[in-house]
């Protein structure tokens, strides 16, 4: 087959990619909800500490997000072009970079956990609890990186079910560990906030081991290729495509971190705890959006690899439609029941915390359909290799809109509701920018396969190792 020809196999359906990704992340949300319930029995300080720990953990993932953005775009593009061995080599190169990045980002979280938690400006007890959570999450950073990278490669190849079943195993372990380690049951010590981090880390380690066994044992769609993955052009492509996503993640985390610092320092622990609770409540909406982001990224990359840009465009619009409808419906259910949901998490909630939670919930409900644009259209752009424009939209929306409004709220001593309303303004701006970019043709041809890659499926294997790899994956690629 010539590189310009379309592959003979059919693209995976939107639902076959989105549904298992949605269910996978809904299960993760369930774990977070259970964790919040258990930690909530320890009080508002513990709730706030876990929210701080999670925010720092996500901030340390910027390098990893950059690498896996490249993984998704390049594995999907090669899979669409039927360059299956090259997709395997890209996966191996991605895993090597992810391992280095995860260890490098874990060190500050282990060594300077207290100093990092101190920045949030909350009380001393909450700061110490958050430091424990940050430190133990950092210990398991490498395991999370392995899970994330292999899962991204499998989804990019159209296999969202294997990561789903791995997540089932992880959650089966995580929830009992939370019960045992947070509250001290079945003979385990009551470790509180620290126990929540250890439970998640041990479960993540199990998922990493399963992922490696399946991948190295050649039991998954993306083949484990031992030779040739270290060539420079692969790392160059991963970095070229991925670094804007890494910058975007850093911008997002810095901006979000700054927003939370203002919230904690000027509006108090109750506002901070309410923000953490509302984030947990609306996580179900976010993971539905993430499922359509995964689908949009995979289909965009595969269609473009198959020289079908019209198919790539259609898949993005479909992902947006389904994401907006499903996320909006869920948000409506949540906002109409927010007080009852808060009562589930906190045994004796402070009235101020409840009032703040209601305010934030309404702002998030208004933002949710707009966030669907960022998930679906942003995902389609990233899957095509256009990682720079989503970075720019995040910079303008989060830093230029939300953080500027937050600073104005502090300087003018405005009510906290205006801080929360900044989220709506941010998402309006980002949505307009992303839709405008998607309606152009500039994002469709930003990534070109290397000449050696583009001919890999037409010139035949170059070594016995390639011969075995080609035979192993040719059947999987057409399944």
| 3-class SS of residue 228 | coil
pLDDT at 60 over 60: yes
Question: Chain-wide mean pLDDT for the chain?
Answer: 80
Alpha carbon distance 8, 80 (integer Å): 10
Whether residue 7 has pLDDT greater than 50: no
Q: pLDDT, tens digit, for every residue of 283-294? A: 778 888 888 888
Higher pLDDT, 269 or 157: 157
Q: Is the CB of residue 305 less than 8 Å from the CB of residue 80?
A: yes
What is the model's pLDDT at position 475?
40
Residue 437 domain boundaries = 14-477
pLDDT given for residue 373 in this prediction: 94
Q: Which long-range contacts (CB under 8 A, 24 or more apart) does 146-149 make?
A: 146/95, 146/98, 146/99, 146/208, 146/211, 146/212, 147/204, 147/207, 147/208, 147/211, 148/61, 148/64, 148/68, 148/98, 149/64, 149/67, 149/68, 149/71, 149/91, 149/94, 149/95, 149/98
Residues 43 and 121 sit within 8 Å (Cβ to Cβ): no
CA atoms of 17 and 316, how far apart (whole Å): 13
With cut-offs at 50, 70 and 90, classify the pLDDT of residue 461: very low
Q: How far is residue 241's CA from residue 231's CA, in Å, rounded to a whole number?
A: 16
105 vs 454, residue with greater confidence: 105
Q: How many CA atoms lie within 13 A of 211 on its CB side?
A: 29
pLDDT number for residue 214: 92
Find the mean pLDDT for residues 446-467.
45
Q: Is the pLDDT of residue 105 over 60?
A: yes
CA–CA gap between residue 127 and residue 381 (Å, rounded): 39
Sign of CA dihedral 48, 49, 53, 56: positive
Give the number of domains in the chain.
Answer: 1
pLDDT above 60 for 462? no
Question: What are the distances in angstroms from CA 276 to CA 54, 76, 104, 445?
Answer: 10, 35, 27, 40
**What's the pLDDT score for residue 11?**
64
Closest Cα partner for 404 from 418, 388, 389, 390? Answer: 418
Answer yes or no: are the C-beta atoms of 208 and 166 closer than 8 Å. no
Answer yes or no: is 229 within a domain.
Answer: yes
Helices (H), 282-350: 283-305, 309-335, 338-345
Question: Sign of the C-alpha dihedral, residues 186, 188, 191, 195?
Answer: negative
The single-letter DSSP state of residue 399 is I
Instruction: Please give the distance of CA 26 from its chain centroid, rounded to a whole number.
Output: 13
Q: First and final CA of the chain: distance in angstroms?
A: 18
Concatenating the DSSP letter of every residue in 138-178 gives: HHTHHHHHHHHHHHHHHHHTT--HHHHHHHHHHHHHHHHHH
In the structure encoding, which two tokens stand for residue 83, read together? 């360059």
User: Which residues have C-beta within 8 Å of that of residue 159, sequence separation ≥ 6?
Assistant: 220, 221, 222
Question: Whole-prediction pTM value?
Answer: 0.69
- Average pLDDT over every residue of 129-153: 89
Q: Which of 479, 455, 454 is closest to 10 using CA atoms?
A: 479
Cα separation of 98 and 90, whole Å?
12
Residue 201, in any domain of the structure:
yes
Residue 301 placed within a domain: yes
Per cent of the chain over pLDDT 70 is 89
The answer to whether the CB of 114 falls within 8 A of the CB of 127 is yes
Q: How many residues does the chain have?
A: 479
Average pLDDT over residues 12-23: 75
Structural domain contains residue 349: yes
Q: Give yes or no for residue 457 having a pLDDT over 70.
A: no
Average pLDDT over residues 187-199: 85
Give the three-class secondary structure for 279. Answer: helix
Q: Please check the confidence at residue 460 and state whether its pLDDT lies above 70.
A: no
Give the pLDDT band of residue 347 (cuts 50, 70, 90): low
Asked whether residue 2 is assigned to any structural domain, the reply reads no
Average pLDDT over residues 149-174: 88
How many Å apart are CA 115 and CA 151, to the nearest integer? 33
Per-residue confidence band for 237, with pLDDT thresholds at 50, 70 and 90:
confident
Other residues' Cβ atoms within 10 Å of the Cβ of residue 477: 22
Nearest Cα to 161, choosing from 23, 279, 299?
23
Return the pLDDT at 474. 41
Q: What tens digit of pLDDT does each residue of 315-331 get?
A: 899 999 999 998 888 88
Q: Is residue 159 assigned to a domain?
A: yes
Q: Which residue has the higher pLDDT, 99 or 236?
A: 99
How high is the pLDDT of residue 404? Answer: 92
Helices 416-438 and 351-383: angle between axes, nearest 10 degrees: 10
- Minimum mean pLDDT range among 1-15, 150-164, 265-279: 1-15
pLDDT of res. 188: 84
pLDDT band with cut points at 50, 70 and 90 for residue 158: confident
Query: Percentage of the chain surpassing pLDDT 90?
Result: 13
Query: Where does the pLDDT of residue 150 fall: very low under 50, low under 70, confident under 90, or very high at 90 and above?
Result: very high
Calpha distance 289→384 (Å, rounded): 18
Of 288, 310, 284, the C-alpha closest to 299 is 310
**Does the residue 3 lie in any domain?**
no
pLDDT digits (tens, 9 = 90+) for 355-413: 888 888 888 888 888 899 999 999 899 888 888 898 899 999 999 999 999 999 889 88
Tell me the C-alpha distance between 161 and 177, whole Å. Answer: 25
Q: What is the dihedral of CA 342, 344, 346, 351, to 10 degrees?
A: 40
Higher pLDDT, 456 or 79: 79
pLDDT at 469 over 50: no
pLDDT at 468: 43
- Residue 410, in any domain of the structure: yes
């Amino acid at each position: 087959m010539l590189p310009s020809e379309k592959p003979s196999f059919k693209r995976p359906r939107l639902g076959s990619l989105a549904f298992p990704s949605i269910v996978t992340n809904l299960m993760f949300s369930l774990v977070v909800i259970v964790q919040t319930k258990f930690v909530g029995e320890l009080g508002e300080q513990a709730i706030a500490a876990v929210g701080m720990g999670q925010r720092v953990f996500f901030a340390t993932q910027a390098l990893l997000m950059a690498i896996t953005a490249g993984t998704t775009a390049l594995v999907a593009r090669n899979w669409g072009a039927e360059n299956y061995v090259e997709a395997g080599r890209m996966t191996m190169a991605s895993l090597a970079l992810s391992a280095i990045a995860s260890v490098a980002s874990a060190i500050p979280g282990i060594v300077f956990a207290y100093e990092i938690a101190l920045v949030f400006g909350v009380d001393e007890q909450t700061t110490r609890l958050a430091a424990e959570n940050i430190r133990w999450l950092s210990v398991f950073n490498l395991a999370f990186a392995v899970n994330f990278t292999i899962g991204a490669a499998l989804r990019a190849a159209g296999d969202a079910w294997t990561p789903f079943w791995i997540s089932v195993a992880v959650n089966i372990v995580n929830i009992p560990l939370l019960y045992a380690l947070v509250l001290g049951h079945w003979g385990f010590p009551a470790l509180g906030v620290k126990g929540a981090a250890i439970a998640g880390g041990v479960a993540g380690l199990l998922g990493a081991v399963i992922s490696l066994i399946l991948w190295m044992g050649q039991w998954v769609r993306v083949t484990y290729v031992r030779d040739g993955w270290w060539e420079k052009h692969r790392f160059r492509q991963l970095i070229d495509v991925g670094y804007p996503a890494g910058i975007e993640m850093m911008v997002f985390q810095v901006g979000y971190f700054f927003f939370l610092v203002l919230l904690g320092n000027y509006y108090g622990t109750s506002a901070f705890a309410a923000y953490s609770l509302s984030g947990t409540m609306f996580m179900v909406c976010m993971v539905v959006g993430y499922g359509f982001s995964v689908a949009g990224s995979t289909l965009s990359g595969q269609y473009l690899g198959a020289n079908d840009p019209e198919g790539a465009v259609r898949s993005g619009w479909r992902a947006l439609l389904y994401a907006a409808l499903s996320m909006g419906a869920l948000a409506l259910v949540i906002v109409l029941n927010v007080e009852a949901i808060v009562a589930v998490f906190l045994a004796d909630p402070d009235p101020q915390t409840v009032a703040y939670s209601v305010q934030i919930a309404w702002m998030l409900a208004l933002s949710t359909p707009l966030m669907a644009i960022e998930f679906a259209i942003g995902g389609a752009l990233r899957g095509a290799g256009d990682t720079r424009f989503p970075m720019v939209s995040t910079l303008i929306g989060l830093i230029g809109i939300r953080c500027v409004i937050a600073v104005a709220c502090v300087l003018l001593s405005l009510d906290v509701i205006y801080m929360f309303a900044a989220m709506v303004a941010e998402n309006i701006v980002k949505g307009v920018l992303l839709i405008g970019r998607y309606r152009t043709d500039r994002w469709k041809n930003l990534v070109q396969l290397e000449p050696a890659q583009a001919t890999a499926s037409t010139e035949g294997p170059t070594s016995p190792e390639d011969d075995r790899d080609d035979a192993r994956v040719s059947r999987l690629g057409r399944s």
